[in-house]
Structure 1
Amino acid sequence: MRGRRKQGRTSPEPDRRAVALKPRRLGPRDVLHVGSAGLRSRPVRVVLSALGIAIGIATMIAVVGISASSQAQLLQRLEALGTNMLVAEPGEGMFSGQEVKLPKDAVGMVGRIDGVERAGASGDLRHSVRRSQMIPEEETGGIAVKAATEGLLGVLRGTTASGTWLNAANGRYPAVVLGHVAAERLGIDRPGRQVWIDDRYFTVVGILAPLPLAPEVERSALVGWESAQRLLGFDGHPTTVYERSTDASVRQVQRLLAPTIDPRNPQNVAVSDPSEALKAKAATEGAFSTLLLGLGGIALLVGGVGVANTMIISVLERRHE
């Protein structure tokens, strides 16, 4: 009976095989809940982190936008003014103190060069311009008096802010066109007024708009070529010759300009490109933009490292969980 009882109490052995555990991962709702809890519990940290990122991005956008806009405006202005204008002036003579003069027919000679589209000239006059004869002669205000050919304004691509330019009609009489700066210094804002030049009143027939490529013209009072010879004792030798050529022939014309004006002594003619200053300024703007972009990138990198450091610290704080 005891054997039967023992047989009745026996039960099958339990299965002791290892059960594989599967890790549980956070679902999208759990991630959203945990993340929002962190945001709610530390609002100051969240605001500072977001502010750092926003300031870094805003700085980058502002730096790139302002520098790119400035450079684009400069290039647009340079394109409107053109890079195909050259200027010829008297250079230094072979001997010290030698006075160099350009030929009287320099404009016509330059106009015959292949590729030249327009040519004009101005000649310096040893006179001063004043608002009236009551003003002392030595108070010139930095305004020069120049003789100008009829084609000068077209070569400079200039316009008149008011009035008209010198032509075959008014260029023979005591008429004058004031540059933009000259008109401001004389206090003349419209044509019809008179200015005093060499013991004679000249009537203002026009005021020029700004000429960035010819600042010397902006600060001048311009009279007609014929009237300058007849009334002001001008000898007819141009002081500055301006020319416009096609874009493809600028360099060729630049090489031929001095030998054409003075074949015997081309070294007496100095040729320059007034647009070089604007080109150099545009290049400087590009380099400055690159520098600012680099500084903005460094600032953004430093801000990103700070934000990453803050995030790592917040993770380490909860690592015990």
Structure 2
Amino acid sequence: MTRTTTHRGARPVRLSFADIWRLGLLGLRTRGPRAVLSALGVSLGIATLVVVTAIPASGQKALVNELSALGTDMLRVAPQADTSPPVILPGSADAMAARIGPVTAASAVANTHRTVLRSDRADPSDAIGISVLAARTDLLAAVHGTVASGSFLSPVTERFPTVVLGHRAASRLGFDRVRPGRVPGQVLIDRHWFAVIGVLDPLPLAPDLDSAVLTGWDAARDRLGFDGHPTVVYVTARESRIETVRDVLPATVHPQVPGLVQVSRPSDALAAKRATQHTLSALLLGLAGVALLVGGVGVANTMVVSVLERRREIGLRRALGASRGQIRGQFLAESVALSALGGAAGTVLGAAGAAAYAVSRSWPVVYPPLALAAGLLGAVVIGAVAGVYPAVRASRLPPTEALAAA
């Protein structure tokens, strides 16, 4: 909407914000090829911003996932060895640990001190190094384990003479896998035959279980004379609270003698993971800042050149009565519109490029919020800031000088 006033002579027409914005877009349309090239330059700068922040973010996520797989959230609780009398954990030690707030999983195993044989004719020395452990049915969740074949112990099978073999124990006993639909193989434990129902994948977080034969808690108590007291409790907790959980675990699992309970220290991978996150986050901020600066310089350069090329238009408009404020508004609107178009195109282009690279490296696709915000909104801010000097310069050109220089 426009309006004119007369007071001591005619004053310039006062343009509304919408009028100035339309005037800026008109300037872009009349300079179609150059505006496209200018927007392309801005889009390449914004695409670079997205790429140089999204690709390191995807790499960071992949690295953090690998470090997490090293057990950054896992603790191992066991009584001190070589004490007299021996320290015995309560039968409900794992359930007590599970009640700690940040704990996400807790389970236990217990050494039955029994010997396992492949058959009743096997040499007992063949089983040296293989331990027979009673295991809770939720053990795999606490040690991040998986079953290679067959199945793990369940609330049903743990009551019967069934076993699950660790990776190395299965190899030692002559089992490569459990085949569904076939009669399961058997092993002999303390003169009792146990059916093999599963074989585990390697457990890098609990390597002692790779050489173990795991049977159900109830089956071990009924057939092997197991007393029901766990020897090792495995606990997983939220990484941010892992040190707090470690501090309270001894008094939780054995309130009578907490000083004789050992809790493994959090993996060194946790410290490496936190250092990686901190370092790469700072790197992402630095890269984003540099890319924004480069984009801003590009927009400013484009608009300065535009002012030099359009001195005749500026002089003519000033001669026809356009005020300095209207000239500033026009060039500022052009700068913002140019940056917004380039920012939108650059964000899409950069996101596609970063996703393609991440997929080619088998990384998770991650887009930092800072990168997307800079691409969609930061470009507008850049255009406004970068367009200030060219807009002011254009508004200060005297009409006669601008027309004469054209």
Scaled to the shorter chain, the TM-score interval is 0.5 to 0.7
Does 2:258 match 1:269? no
Does 2:142 match 1:155? yes
State the one-letter code of the partner of 2:77.
Answer: A
Name the residue aligned to 1:79.
68
d(CA) in 2 for partners of 1:123 and 1:163?
A: 22
Inter-CA distance 216–151: structure 2 relative to 1 (3 Å threshold): same
Tell me, yes or no, if the aligned pair for 1:86 and 1:273 is still in contact at 8 Å. yes
Percent same amino acid at aligned positions? 42
* Structure 1 residue 281 displacement after superposition: 10
More helix by share: 2
Output one character per residue of 1:128-155: Cα deviation in whole Å (capped at 9) or x when no partner: 1111110132431411000000111111
State the one-letter code of the partner of 1:91.
Answer: Q
* Structure 1 residue 78 displacement after superposition: 2.9
Q: Note the 1:251-290 alignment, pairs <5 A.
A: 251-273=243-265, 275-276=267-268
d(CA) in 1 for partners of 2:176 and 2:76?
A: 30
State the one-letter code of the partner of 2:209.
Answer: V
State the one-letter code of the partner of 2:200.
Answer: L
Q: Note the 1:23-38 alignment, pairs <5 A.
A: none
Q: Note the 1:1-321 alignment, pairs <5 A.
A: 76-92=65-81, 97-191=84-178, 192-273=184-265, 275-276=267-268
Question: Which is greater in Rg?
Answer: 1
TM-score under structure 2 length normalisation: 0.49
Tell me, yes or no, if the aligned pair for 2:73 and 2:266 is still in contact at 8 Å. no
d(CA) in 2 for partners of 1:267 and 1:206?
A: 37
d(CA) in 2 for partners of 1:134 and 1:99?
A: 35
State the one-letter code of the partner of 1:155.
Answer: A
* Structure 1 residue 247 displacement after superposition: 1.2
d(CA) in 1 for partners of 2:166 and 2:271?
A: 26
- What stretches of structure 1 of length at least 5 have no aligned partner? 1-71, 283-321
State the one-letter code of the partner of 1:139.
Answer: D
Question: Match of 1:139, SS?
Answer: helix
d(CA) in 2 for partners of 1:245 and 1:265?
A: 23
* Structure 1 residue 271 displacement after superposition: 0.3
d(CA) in 1 for partners of 2:62 and 2:128?
A: 32
d(CA) in 2 for partners of 1:219 and 1:281?
A: 29
- What stretches of structure 2 of length at least 5 have no aligned partner? 1-60, 179-183, 274-406
Instruction: Quote the RMSD (CA, aligned, Å).
Output: 2.4
Output one character per residue of 1:180-239: Cα deviation in whole Å (capped at 9) or x when no partner: 111111110122211111101111000000100101111100000110101111000000
* Structure 1 residue 279 displacement after superposition: 6.5
State the one-letter code of the partner of 2:142.
Answer: V
d(CA) in 1 for partners of 2:175 and 2:132?
A: 16
* Structure 1 residue 97 displacement after superposition: 3.1
Output one character per residue of 1:59-117: Cα deviation in whole Å (capped at 9) or x when no partner: xxxxxxxxxxxxx9986533234411111001157xx5321111111011101111111
Output one character per residue of 1:248-267: Cα deviation in whole Å (capped at 9) or x when no partner: 11111000000111112111
Inter-CA distance 265–201: structure 2 relative to 1 (3 Å threshold): same
Output one character per residue of 1:21-65: Cα deviation in whole Å (capped at 9) or x when no partner: xxxxxxxxxxxxxxxxxxxxxxxxxxxxxxxxxxxxxxxxxxxxx
Deviates more, 1:231-240 or 1:188-197: 188-197
Tell me, yes or no, if the aligned pair for 1:85 and 1:243 is still in contact at 8 Å. yes
Tell me, yes or no, if the aligned pair for 1:85 and 1:273 is still in contact at 8 Å. no
Question: Match of 2:66, SS?
Answer: helix
Inter-CA distance 204–116: structure 2 relative to 1 (3 Å threshold): same
d(CA) in 2 for partners of 1:75 and 1:212?
A: 17
d(CA) in 2 for partners of 1:123 and 1:256?
A: 22
Question: Match of 1:210, SS?
Answer: coil
Tell me, yes or no, if the aligned pair for 1:103 and 1:238 is still in contact at 8 Å. yes
d(CA) in 2 for partners of 1:92 and 1:175?
A: 30
